[in-house]
Structure 1
C-alpha cells in the first residue's frame, strides 16, 4: 500500500488541456475597407473610414480603425463603455472627454476612459487622420459601443 501511494505521488500530474490554437493572422490592406461616409455620433461632416478590424475573422477582441475627418468634421460627443485611444497621424484636432478639451497634433494620443463622454473635431486647414482603437465585447461577437 505504501508503494502504491509512492507511485501515485511520483506519477506526473495530468497536464491541463492545451488552449485552442490561435487563428491565422489577418493582413488587411486599408484600401480594401475604405469608404466615404458621414462621421459617427452626430454626422457632423464627412469622413473617410477604414474599418480595418472589420475584415479580421472572428473571434477578435479589439477594434482598430483609421478615420480621416474632412475639414470641419467631428465625431460627436458620445458615451463610451470601454477605454478608447485616438492617435493622430496627421492634421490637428480638439478631443473632448467629460467636458475637458485638449488640442492634438501628429504623434499625440488621447487615452479615453470607460464611462466618459468623448468626441473629437478636426481643426486647422488639413484633414485630421487618426487611428481609433478599443476592445469589443467578449463572447458575443458584438462591437462595444
Structure 2
C-alpha cells in the first residue's frame, strides 16, 4: 500500500513537472508561476463525448496564454462515462482512483489506479467506471 502511494505521488509529480516545463509563462519575467486548486476550476458537467450521467471536470491553466497543453482531471460519477469517440491527437489517461472499463478500438479491458493509457490519433476509445463507483483520472493532450 505504501509503495502504491509513493508511486502515485511520483507519477503526479512527474505530470506536474512535465506540464510546468512545457508551459510558456504569461510574461517573460523569470520566477513566475501559476498555482490553481481543484476548487477554483471544478465544474459539474455531463460525461464528455455524449457519455451522459454526471461528472466533475477540472480544467487547469485554461486561461494561460500560449500554453499548449491541456491538463485536466475528471471524476466520473456512477452511471456516467466518457463516451466512445475517435481520437484526433495523442491523449493520456492516468487513473488516480476507482476502477472501470476502457473500450479501445472495439476491445474492452479493466483499468485501475496507476494505469496510464496513451491513445494515438485515429484510435477510438471510451471509459466507464465500475457500477456504483466513481473513477477519477488525469487527462493530458495538446491544445488545438
- Report the TM-score, using the length of structure 2 for normalisation: 0.74
Pairwise mapping of residues 1-145 of structure 1 onto structure 2 (< 5 A)?
A: 22-23=24-25, 24-55=32-63, 57-137=64-144
In 2, are the aligned partners of 1:91 and 1:124 still within 8 Å (CA)? no
Unaligned runs of 5+ in 2: 1-23, 26-31
Unaligned runs of 5+ in 1: 1-21, 138-145
Aligned equivalents of 1:93, 1:43: Cα separation in 2: 14
Aligned equivalents of 2:48, 2:61: Cα separation in 1: 17
1:43 to partner: Cα distance: 4.1
Structure number, greater radius of gyration: 1
1:136 to partner: Cα distance: 1.3
In the comparison of the two structures, how many residue pairs are matched?
115
In 2, are the aligned partners of 1:38 and 1:44 still within 8 Å (CA)? yes
Structure 1 stretches of 4+ with a deviation exceeding 2 A read: none
1:77 to partner: Cα distance: 0.8
**Per-residue displacement from partner, 1:12-47 (whole Å, max 9, x unpaired)?**
xxxxxxxxxx42322111110001111111142110
